[in-house]
Chain A
């Protein structure tokens, strides 16, 4: 059994590398985009606000699996063609940015308006108030919710199998079907658990760091 496990491990690890690539690049793209969108959601300009609300509704209101299929198989119908990996990244970043935007919007709104007024009477400009007063307090507020999404993303990344990308789950599936053995899938589960444990640890550290104030 150990011998068999070792024999399929390279294939699983190569799949895990793909899972991490989708995960990491989605985080790098979706968090800044979500931040930008959240500022738009808070904007007083109604068309922008309404447009972004529609966007968030579409992204959160339909399955990510469907969005993935749409980007990879649907857009070529109108002449927009992406390779598999790019299509996966676009769908994931657009989807997760919508969730992050809602989390950041709530975080910004949770910072007491008195803080903004205190900064205002001291003469701080709006950009200074945002960067020095609001954002630092928002990070602490949103950290647990962002952490939830990050953990979800590790597992959601397995949806890329539907457009034929060889991620961790697909690698396990292939080995399992070929060898008629459930052990590869058990190993896949363990690898996912290790990945989420690592993320959880990092997030806990971050939360503990932000406990320096209340």
Chain B
């Protein structure tokens, strides 16, 4: 189980997240929804260790976890909204770079694992291609393969449907559900409530802070 405990984060004195508590069962899918400005991206940056919360902590299976400590590789993988593939590296090298550099796998072992992963994601014909040669959907699957190659316990997605052709949304949903069947814990940040309903075991709604204040008043 992955838990967030009393997370507080403000930006330039403006509170964005206050006393946030949240937990995800292992192997399940949590969707975090809410309008823009509600703090979805902030929350994702905290979970992936790109920013530090003002206060609060994260726990994996009850043990405190610091997302920015990634010496042996992060336990939380991230698939960015704009994928952020490395444009100068081939698809396979995008996937094998971190296992080789961070997990100290041999180039050969990383390559075998990477090829298998890409095959599983339907990219076996694209291993030698460069990101600019791929479609949006293919790029996203490379980004997922790159994150999975580090064998994270939790995989986070930032707006996985926003950069895609609408006809591909069902494919992503299926892919996320397939990964769930393999036991992956997944957190999906999205503004697409329909998509969230389609995949999630649990939906958490973030509200912009101003709105909450108005409700209280």
Contact = CB atoms under 8 A, between A and B. Distances in A.
Interface in A100-139: 112, 114-115, 117-124, 128, 132-133, 136-137
Given A123-B74, A212-B130, 5 more contacts: A115-B84, A124-B98, A128-B101, A136-B88, A214-B87
Contacts of A117: 50, 80, 84
B101 A114 contact: no
A112 B84 CA distance: 9
Contacts of A121: 48-50, 70, 74, 76-78
Contacts, number: 65
The size class of the interface chain A forms with chain B is: 20 to 34
Interface of B is mostly: loop
B139 interface: no
B119 interface: no
Nearest to B81: A114
Given A114-B80, A128-B101, A213-B88, A122 B150 contact: yes
B162 to A, nearest CB: 15
B132 A122 contact: no
Interface of A: 112, 114-115, 117-124, 128, 132-133, 136-137, 140, 212-214
A122 B144 CA distance: 12
Contacts of B84: 112, 114-115, 117-118
B82 A114 contact: yes
Top 4 A-B residue pairs of the complex, sorted by shortest distance between their CB atoms: A123-B70, A122-B98, A118-B84, A214-B132
Given A122-B150, A213-B87, A213-B131, A132 B101 contact: yes
Contacts of B50: 117, 120-121
Contact of B146 (A122, A128, A140): A122
A140 B89 CA distance: 13
Contacts of B196: none
